[in-house]
Amino acid sequence: MKIRNLGPLAVSELGYGTMSFANYYGASPERSEAIRVIRSAHERGVTLFDTAESYGPFTNEDLVGEALAPIRDEVVIATKFGWNIDLETGERRPGLNSKPAHVKRAVEGMLRRLRVETIDLLYQHRVDPEVPIEDVAGAVKDLVAEGKVRHFGLSEAAAATIRRAHAVLPVAAIQSEYSLWTRDPEPEILPLCRELGIGFVPWSPLGAGFLTGTVDPGTSHGAGDFRANSPRFTPEAKAANQDLVDLLRRFAEAKGATPAQVALAWLLARAPFIVPIPGTRRLDRVEENLGAASVTLTAGDMDEIEAAASKITVAGARLPQAVLQFSYR
């Protein structure tokens, strides 16, 4: 794969989000299988791997750390702090916690679980309104000076917040949900990234699987699958949103590709500083996703997709309100 830059950080043009190994889509595979898939993604060219302390909590970082330990010097590991998690027990508590002392303690656990001396890219998972972003950036700046963190990122942050953070410590990357059915970053965040030289990392670039064309109104989501409680995955919303899948399928047939590959190729064509991180638990899906790098969408293709997509109204909020309330602050 080609290389793209998240600020000063060079990574593969497609990364790998590992959240799906933390039981968010139902039971995860055996640990040995998860490690095999993660390492196989690297063998196929992936160098950016994304996790978070909240995935588990803690268990996903430990898995990623074990999987990538033999190839540590060949990969970029990104993780995130910011949810209110008891750092001793892993108990989830209400709300957020980006108090500087908490952040610094959280990083010690991350370093241990990830089996690294330095975290390549450390994101604030959500902006904590109780802690000035300057104080958060200052805490990460201290961690950079100590050699425990290389680069700073923000997730689901508002443009004004990004500017304030960037003035204290250069922000390498912004991570927010972005895909053909979630386009919230376009008016302000993407132009700001272009202006400031910040990379942009779309999470859920395949719409939690919906844009792959493998989900239809009759698809059920079992116990432990977050989609069972997602507004966009009600039977009514799935039926209403099939027009987007039909659009992707039409281009996929013309390109000899899959809907998932066209959805990812669309993101890659949006800007050279965009690095999607699709996640999957299956190696065949990893290979399919990476095939998106070989799908070329011309300017004419992009215009045609835009014209068709502009006529489609996406049904359902992208996340439950209990989670959505923490975004773009």
Residues that are catalytic: 55
Both ends of the chain: CA-CA distance in Å? 34
Say how far apart CA 265 and CA 289 lie, in whole Å: 9
